[in-house]
Chain A
Amino acid sequence: MSQEKFDAIVVGAGPSGNAAAYTLARKGLNVLQLERGEYPGSKNVQGAILYAKALEEIIPDFRESAPLERHIIEQRLWMLDDSSYVGMHYRSEDFNEDRPSRYTILRAQFDKWFSQQVRDAGAVLLCETTVTELLRDESGRVIGVATDRDNGTVYADVVILAEGVNGLVGRRSKLREELQPESVALAVKEMHFLPKDVIDARFNLKGGEGVVIEGMGTITEGMTGTAFIYTNNESLSVGIGCLVSDLAQTGRSPAGLLEAFKNHPSVKPLLAGSEIKEYAAHLIPEGGLKAMPELFGDGWIVVGDAGHFVNAVHREGSNLAMTTGRLAAETVADLKQRGVPCSKANLRAYTKRLEDCFVMKDMKKYKDIPSFLHGNRHLFDLYPRLVSKAAQNWFRVDGKDKLTKEKEILTSFRKGRTLSGLLGDAFKMARAWR
Chain B
Amino acid sequence: MTKLEMGAAAQTAVKVEEKLFYNRYLVDAGRPHITVRPHDTPSAALLALTRICPAGCYSQADGGQVEIASDGCMECGTCRVLCGESGDIEWNYPRGGFGVLYKFG
Contacts and interface: CB of A to CB of B under 8 A. Distances in A.
B is bound to A: yes
Interface of A: 36-38, 41-46, 48, 82, 106-109, 111, 127-130, 147-149, 165-166, 168, 178-181, 184, 186, 188, 190-191, 221, 235, 244, 247-249, 251-257, 259-260, 263, 276-283
Nearest to B44: A248
B7 interface: yes
Nearest to B47: A251
Contacts of A166: 77, 80
B99 A279 contact: no
B76 interface: yes
Nearest to B72: A279
Contacts of A181: 81-82
Interface in B1-58: 3-4, 7, 10-12, 14, 16, 19-20, 22-23, 26, 45, 48, 51-52, 54-56
**A-B pairs, 6 with minimum CB distance:** A256-B11, A128-B97, A107-B105, A281-B54, A128-B96, A279-B19
A412 to B, nearest CB: 18
B105 A44 contact: yes
A221 B22 CA distance: 27
A191 B97 contact: no
B78 A111 contact: no
Contacts of A188: 54
A108 B105 contact: yes
Interface string B49-89: 00110111000000000000000001111101110110000
Contacts of A279: 19-20, 22-23, 74
Contacts of B92: 168
A130 B96 CA distance: 5
Contacts of A46: 105
A178 B76 contact: no
Contacts of A244: 52, 78, 81-82
Interface string B88-105: 000011111101111111
A280 B102 contact: yes
Contact of A260 (B7, B45, B103): B7
B105 A259 contact: no
Contacts of A253: 11-12, 14, 16, 51-52
B11 A260 contact: yes
A166 B73 CA distance: 15
A181 B100 CA distance: 23
Interface of B: 3-4, 7, 10-12, 14, 16, 19-20, 22-23, 26, 45, 48, 51-52, 54-56, 74-78, 80-82, 84-85, 92-97, 99-105
A228 to B, nearest CB: 15
A281 B55 contact: yes
Contacts of B77: 165-166, 179, 283
A147 B92 CA distance: 13
Nearest to A168: B93
B14 to A, nearest CB: 5
Nearest to B93: A130
A279 B97 CA distance: 19
A41 B22 contact: no
Contact of B102 (A148, A248, A278): A278
Given A38-B101, A106-B104, A147-B96, A278 B22 contact: yes
A384 to B, nearest CB: 14
Given A248-B45, A259-B10, A277 B80 contact: no
Nearest to A188: B54
Given A43-B75, A244-B81, A244-B82, 13 more contacts: A42-B105, A44-B102, A128-B96, A129-B96, A178-B85, A179-B77, A221-B4, A248-B45, A251-B51, A277-B22, A279-B23, A280-B102, A281-B78
Contacts of A235: 104
B68 to A, nearest CB: 15
A191 B24 CA distance: 14
Contacts of B55: 281
A158 B92 CA distance: 24
Contact of A184 (B7, B12, B54, B81): B81
A190 B54 CA distance: 12
Nearest to A106: B104
Contacts of B14: 253, 255-256, 259
Given A168-B93, A235-B104, A276 B78 contact: no
Nearest to B10: A260
Contacts of B84: 178
